[in-house]
Amino acid sequence: ANAASGMAVNDDCKLKFLELKAKRTYRFIVFKIEEKLKQVIVEKLGEPNQSYEDFTASLPTDECRYAVYDFDFVTEENCQKSKIFFIA
């Protein structure tokens, strides 16, 4: 599927996101723009036991990336919750 920018998103991106969302297969997914292919591709998959620090360490310091992160937390009522964040 091409966005308004003409940049395609590789089908694997959607597949991996749905796996993270439905099955919690990954802690995070890092996406990058592959200039030669003119599309967004999956660059890295974080294992479910990896931390936020592992996620931030996997990002390059001098290049743009997009990511999805599955954040676990405990509410004030002591309920285990999770939220999925899109980071650009």
pLDDT at residue 69 above 70? Answer: yes
- Exposed/middle/buried for 78, CB within 10 Å: 0-12, 13-18, 19+? exposed
Distance, CA of 10 to CA of 81 (rounded, Å): 30
pTM summary value: 0.88
Q: What is the CA radius of gyration of the chain?
A: 14
Report the pLDDT averaged over residues 16-33.
97
Q: What top-level class would CATH report for the domain 8-87?
A: alpha beta
Q: Determine phi and psi for 41, rounding to 5 degrees.
A: -130, 165
Helices assigned H by DSSP within 1-88: 11-23, 52-57
Tell me the pLDDT band of 78, cut-offs 50, 70 and 90.
very high
Residue 6: predicted pLDDT: 76
